[in-house]
Amino acid sequence: MTGFLKPLRGWHVLVMVLVFFGVTIGVNATFITLALKTFPGEDVPHSYVQGLEFNETIARRQAQDELGWTARFNAVDGALLLEVLDAGAAPVSGLALTGEMVHPDTTQACPLVFAEDRPGVYRVALACETAGRWRVRALNEGDAPFEVEYELWLP
């Protein structure tokens, strides 16, 4: 009985090796491309510049710690609430809070602009209503150094 590989010759082995490595390299290239498209590897854009400005970041965080402010997030009725209290548990009013919600798995980001609902409580409509885990970041655009990051679970 004679077949394609009987007798096994050198060019048969060459073709088998080339096909094997061609499939392996093709699959690896596909997985690498898909991985980089879904998550580029950076948590924040311009991480190099952020590293250069690290001393300023430390100074802002120390100034924020000296204020003694605390913050709590809550998602209610399609809105995100942020309560800011000072060291004496009194509400902090007059902040100009902006921020974003980032889905860590898909890097989908939704900008947030908070409006003061009542003294010390800031409200924004949820721009992203996809269920799952979200990283919420709020930053005061005013003079007081205030920045908070929180992980939120949306059902």
Strands 115-118 and 70-76: unpaired
Contact (Cβ atoms closer than 8 angstroms) between residue 140 and residue 97: yes
Question: What is the pLDDT at residue 40?
Answer: 66
> Which CATH number do you get for residue 68?
2.60.40.1930
User: How far is residue 2 from each of residues 7, 11, 20, 33, measured CA to CA in Å?
Assistant: 8, 17, 24, 43
CA distance 134 to 100: 10
pLDDT along the chain (155 residues), means of 10: 74 94 98 83 72 85 86 85 89 89 78 89 83 86 85 82
Give how many domains the chain has, as a whole number: 2
- Residue 51 located in a structural domain: yes
Neighbours of 102 (CB within 10 A): 19
Two structure tokens written together for 151? 């992980």
87 contacts 67 by C-beta, under 8 angstroms:
yes
Q: Is the pTM of this model over 0.75?
A: no
Task: Check whether residue 129 and residue 71 sit in a common domain.
Answer: yes
Do 52 and 125 reside in the same domain of the chain?
A: yes
